[in-house]
């Protein structure tokens, strides 16, 4: 599997470490993607910031490459799903490529049943990332709130080189219950992106824009 890698920073670099430089065509400011270069690959992985991904969107669509993208902090064009279907190509987007995050999703779905047990409760969601992360709250924090289906008081912190921590706490009168996920190494995101890219390269995924959580739901039977 030959991977076109867009975004060679902290996380993209881990993709190259895992796959080996011979299996990756890395694109950055010194090697901009072109249609011919992209078509020499089997699948694309993007860890570009959202606005930067949008700059390459037309080129990526034209290439016909399946894409696994962890870009956040932007909105997809409204017609992107229909365009991908017309092109016969599948893209998968993820707010967080950690494979373990999909186990957390199941736990949060259980916590969404809270109103069936308690009349009074609050949810607090704390997220911490490195100082270079621009979007607040993080895409993962917003995904957790979506999975929860309840309003949560979200606090965001940016410190050092932290690859990501998220903690959701259910606060009731007599007890606190928490679900926590800590990223110890950015390789967890690279590992998840590679897993996703292999799924795309296999041709198992139908054309269109998909969220990784939908794919993982089917994979785990959640």
Just list the catalytic residues.
Answer: 129, 133
d(CA 30, CA 130): 25
- Beta bridge partners, 165, equal 128, 182
DSSP state of 25: E
d(CA 72, CA 125): 19
Within 8 A by CB and 6+ apart from 63, the residues are 35, 38, 39, 44
State the residue for tokens 């696994």.
Answer: 68
d(CA 167, CA 129): 12
Within 8 A by CB and 6+ apart from 149, the residues are 112
């Amino acid at each position: 599997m030959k991977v076109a890698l867009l975004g060679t920073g902290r996380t993209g670099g881990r993709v190259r470490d895992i796959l080996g430089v011979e299996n990756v065509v890395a694109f950055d400011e010194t090697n901009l993607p072109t249609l011919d270069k992209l078509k020499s690959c089997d699948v694309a992985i993007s860890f570009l910031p959202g606005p930067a991904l949008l700059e390459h969107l037309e080129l990526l669509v034209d290439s016909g490459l399946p894409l696994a993208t962890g870009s956040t902090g932007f909105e997809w064009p409204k017609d992107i799903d229909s365009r991908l279907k017309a092109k016969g190509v599948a893209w998968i987007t993820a707010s967080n490529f950690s494979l373990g995050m999909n186990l957390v999703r199941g736990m949060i779905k259980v916590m969404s049943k809270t109103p069936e047990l308690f009349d009074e409760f609050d949810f607090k969601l704390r997220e911490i990332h490195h100082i270079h992360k621009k979007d607040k709250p993080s895409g993962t924090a917003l995904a957790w709130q979506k999975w929860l289906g309840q309003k949560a008081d979200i606090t965001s912190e940016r410190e050092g080189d932290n690859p990501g921590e998220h903690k959701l706490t259910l606060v009731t009168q007599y007890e606190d219950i928490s679900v926590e996920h800590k990223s110890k190494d950015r390789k967890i995101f690279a590992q998840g992106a590679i897993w996703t890219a292999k799924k795309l390269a296999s041709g198992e995924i139908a054309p269109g824009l998909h969220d990784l959580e939908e794919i993982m739901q089917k994979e785990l039977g959640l």
